[in-house]
Amino acid sequence: MLNSKQRAYLRSKANPMEPILQVGKGGIGDTLIKQVDDALTARELIKGKVLNNSDLVAKEAAGELARSCQADVVQVIGNKFVLYRANTEEPIYILP
């Protein structure tokens, strides 16, 4: 669970990022969960986007992906969301 200072720090790091995953009309399946899990392991912080043709809204998609990958939702704005999961072996971001 992240506190407000940690969220603010992660939001500032995620701001210039481009979304690396998209949730489309297929919704959230095993393949997408595997992609998110691998990306979080490699990057710790990822940005995603929910396409207009999806049945899900960004908040639902972010929550479901975070639960599936044991991650934290940093923020949801419009159709974009940011997820974070700390890498204990090789941390990239040192949280305040």
CATH (domain of 49): 3.30.110.60
Instruction: Answer for the pair 28, 81: CB distance below 8 angstroms, yes or no.
Output: no
In a domain, 96, yes or no: no
- pLDDT confidence band for 90 (50 / 70 / 90): confident
Q: How many domains are contained in the chain?
A: 1
In a domain, 12, yes or no: yes
In a domain, 94, yes or no: no
Q: 30-77 pLDDT, tens per residue?
A: 999 999 999 999 999 999 999 999 999 999 999 999 999 999 999 999
Instruction: Answer for the pair 34, 45: CB distance below 8 angstroms, yes or no.
Output: no
Q: With a threshold of 0.75, does the pTM exceed it? A: yes
Specify burial of residue 10 (Cβ count, 10 A radius: 0-12, 13-18, 19+).
buried
In a domain, 75, yes or no: yes
pLDDT for position 29: 92
pLDDT for position 94: 87
Instruction: Answer for the pair 79, 58: CB distance below 8 angstroms, yes or no.
Output: yes
Domain that holds residue 63: 4-84
Q: Please give the radius of gyration of the chain, using alpha carbons only, rounded to the nearest integer.
A: 13
In a domain, 95, yes or no: no
pLDDT for position 1: 82
In a domain, 93, yes or no: no
In a domain, 90, yes or no: no
In a domain, 92, yes or no: no
